Structure formats: C-alpha cells, structure tokens
A and B are shown apart, each in its own frame.
Chain A
Amino acid sequence: MRGLTAKRILITGGASGIGAATAARFLEERSVVCVLDRDAAARQKILHDLPGLCAALAADVSNLEQVQAAFADAIRLMGGVDVVVNNAGISVRHNFLDITPEEWDKVMAVNLTGMFYVAQTAARHMVERGGGVILQTASTNGMVGQPYYADYNATKAGVIELTKSMALELAPKIRVCAVAPGYVMTPMQRAEYTDEMFAALNAKLPLRRHAKPEEIAALFAFLASDDAQYITGHVYTIDGAEITGGLASR
C-alpha cells in the first residue's frame, strides 16, 4: 500500500490480538511501529515475536497521565506520530441483570474514556504538526444489539459517534475512521467461547468462520495509507456479512 514506508504508527492494545496483527502488518509495510499495552507479559512476547518494533510502551489507556507519558515516549522514539490505531478494549460476557456498577465503570473506562484520552492526545499532537490519521476499533456490536454484552456494546456505539464527531472537527488535516469487526478469532474471543459455541456461531455466519486478526489489520493498513486519502468520518464494517441481513435472510 502506498505511503506507509517510514510512517510512524502507534497502536494501543497493540501487544495481542487485532493490535498485534496490525503491528505486524505495518512492519511489513515498512512503517515504524510502537505498540502500547498494559499487559507486561504480552509486551514481552510481542518484542520477541516482532523484533522490528520500535518499542512496546507500558500504559493503561484509562489513565490519562499514563497515556500522555507513553505518547511523549512514542514521539521521542519515533520523532513524531503519523497514525494512531486506537484499539485497546476489553469485554466481559455477563447478563444485563448482573452487571455491577464496578464492571460497568471498568468497561466504560477502558473502551470509551480510554479511547477518548488516546484520541485527544493524538489529535493535539497531529494538529500541532499539521496532519495525521486516527483509526479506532469499534465493533458490529456498536451497530446492532447482542445479548450479554450490553456495557461493551454501549461503548462501541459510543466509539462510532466519537469517530464521526472527531472526523468533522479535525478535517481537513486529520482523517478519523472506525473499523467495526464482527467475530474475530483473538485471545479475547477464544477465552469467552467454548468449541461448541464457536461451531454453532460459525454455522450462522455467511462466510462460516471468524475473521483472522490479520484480515482486520489489512483494513487498518489500507485506511492509514495514501490510497485512502479521501476516506474519513465513516465506519468500515468487516464481519463476513454477519449483520448484512435480518432474520428473513437466515
């Protein structure tokens, strides 16, 4: 893809799952990549798996001070940041009736408040230096309902509206897009479903399988590239047609 060589990329939640696959893809595109992750073991692992990484920075995105410090580190190490993949997120499978205030606050803090902290920190830097691209991980769960993830779904709907509002305010210098994956076979997903659940679920999906993290990474790479210079303010669904049809299509 065009224009990714030596582009400076910061990926939050970048040490595992979609974030790690995205880091690997940008390295293949000859970009310069820092990942940010709060999980020390995952940071160790990705530094080993991707020796071309510029750095794996420690930060919890729900902590503004940590976000700002890590962003300053990324700027110092790479000389600036051209693209942020605002990707860190958590999900918990639980019944709506059982969600505790603490669980609700935690999911909000990481998925929505954390996304805002990273986005605003990034946007301020990009405004100062004259341009940039911010890509955010939403979800098809931010577009249609799904039982047992009410808190998560609410944050992802929030990410979509945050993306659109940012895109309007930050144009024409900064492009802001969201990617809305459907089911992706990540460690987060692996931990929440049994093999039987996967089989039943895949049978219902038009493409009959989960996405691979690398397939989401490819969309991020395209949206960050110079081939996507007229793309901003929208949400790109990548779900194997999961939410394309309604009940009548099943």
Chain B
Amino acid sequence: MQLAGKIAVITGAASGIGRASALLFAREGAVVALADINASAGQHVADEIIQSGGRAFFEPADVTRAADCKRLVERAIREFGRIDTLFNNAGIIRRATVLDLAEVDWDRMMAVNVKSIYLLSREAIPHMQRAGGGAIINMASGWGLAGGAKAAVYCASKGAVVLLTKAMALDHGPQNIRVNCICPGDTDTAMLREEARQLGEDDSRFLAESAKRPLGRVGTPEEIAQAALYLASDASSFVTGTALVVDGGGLAGSR
C-alpha cells in the first residue's frame, strides 16, 4: 500500500485518467476526495470505492469557480482533516486552429486547464503548510512540451501548466510541498474519442494514428494513474518541479 493513510483530492475524477487514479489511489490505501462537473458519474466512482471498503466522497464542482474550489477543499479538511495530495487532473480539449477557435472555447479551456490549478492550489497549500508538507500533481500533456496540429489553445494551456508547475515548485519547496506535472501521450479515454469527433475523423483511424509511437499503442488511463501514484507517494520524496512524460516514447524523437 503505497499511499496508506494519505488523503488525496482528485479533480476530473468522474472519467478517464481521473477515475483510474481515484480507484488506484484508493486501492493503495488513500482516502480520496473526488470532484467533477459530471455529478452522476463522479458519485458512481465514489460509491465504487466505498463499496470496496475504501473511504471517499464526491463533491460536484466546476473547478473554474473559486467558490467551488474553496468548498471542495473545506469539505476535504472537514471530513478527512488534512490534504496530502492535490491532483489537479480536470481538463478539456478543443481541436482547432486559432482561426477556427471560438472565444468561448479559448476562455473555457484556459479556465479549466490552467486557472483551476491556481484556484485549488491556493486553497490547499495553506493546509499542506500547516501539516508540514504535501504533494501537488498537475495534469499537463505531451502537448505542453511540443506543439500539435489544430490544438492551439490546448497546447497553450498545457504549456502553461508545465511552467506553472515549475514556478510553484520553487515557491513551495521550502515548505516541503512538492509540485510536479504529468505529460501523458494519447491515452484511451473518452476525451481521445472526442478529439476524433471534433476533427470529423473516424474513431478507429484516429486511434490507429495515435498509436504510431515507439511502443506502438496508446496508453491506458491506469498507466497514467501509475505515474500519479508515484508522484503522490513517498517514493518520489526528492522529486519536485518535474514534468514526467508518460507517452510510450512519443516525444523521444523522430524516426
């Protein structure tokens, strides 16, 4: 049990990597506070954990709103007493060039993918400081390190997450708060299929294209959750300010 007794807040926990992380963290002994904008699916994840004997709650939240973030952190503190890990996982995608991108999409994507990290971290960090430390994990992307076609705002938002992570690591290292981010490659989630839909491409062709990388396949949500587990656990106690690439070698180089 790599997270025995640890308390973790996970956003975007209703589906995909967030859901896989919630289930994995709970299996590894963590008590989890889950949040998502999708209330029914999010509650279902919490129920699944509780039925397996774990401790969890689900709080419906739009992480772009300060009040929702405050409520989530306050509830975690009230019910569990402490926050060891904040996993800022919630994210959305819009596949478009700047010419095709609507202003509402730009604003919403920057708010969900970047601003939410600021809103939640500023609520959680004071509690971590009081407890003597903690770990923050931010969801970035391979496209936060390299550009991708028809993904202008997504790349901009994930690039911002990578540097926000490093800046926060500098600010909060002295308080024993580690801040890292994960840069997954294409992962088999509903969001990946949503990309195919947005680009008007056939699902199977899009997935086959996504699999073109050294390991010859896309990742599973569980494989990305394993990276989050490492960054949340004491195994990574000297790791901060890093961007952990988990992409089957996709960014390793060109052939």
Contact = CB atoms under 8 A, between A and B. Distances in A.
B62 interface: yes
Interface in A4-57: 5-8, 30, 32, 52, 54-55, 57
B171 to A, nearest CB: 29
Interface residues of A, number: 21
Given A79-B92, A130-B40, A5 B105 contact: no
Given A7-B60, A8-B37, A130-B40, A55 B104 contact: yes
B199 interface: no
B60 A131 contact: no
Interface of A is mostly: loop
A7 B108 CA distance: 17
Contacts of A82: 39
Contacts of B194: 76
Contacts of A8: 37
Nearest to A56: B104
A80 interface: yes
Nearest to A57: B104
B94 interface: yes
Contacts of A79: 37-38, 92
A76 B68 contact: no
B199 to A, nearest CB: 13
A17 B108 CA distance: 26
A77 interface: yes
Given A5-B60, A6-B60, A7-B60, A80 B38 contact: yes
Nearest to A77: B108
Nearest to A78: B37
Q: How big is chain B's contact interface, by range?
A: 10 to 19
A131 B94 CA distance: 25
B108 A55 contact: yes
A30 B39 CA distance: 13
A30 B68 contact: yes
B212 interface: no
A130 B92 CA distance: 21
A215 interface: no
Contacts of A55: 104, 108
A77 B104 contact: yes
B19 to A, nearest CB: 13
B65 interface: yes
A76 B38 contact: no
Residue of A8, A55, A79, A129 with most chain B CB atoms under a 10 A cut-off: A79
Contact of B62 (A32, A57, A76): A32
A6 B37 contact: yes
A73 interface: yes
Interface of A: 3, 5-8, 30, 32, 52, 54-55, 57, 73, 76-80, 82, 129-131
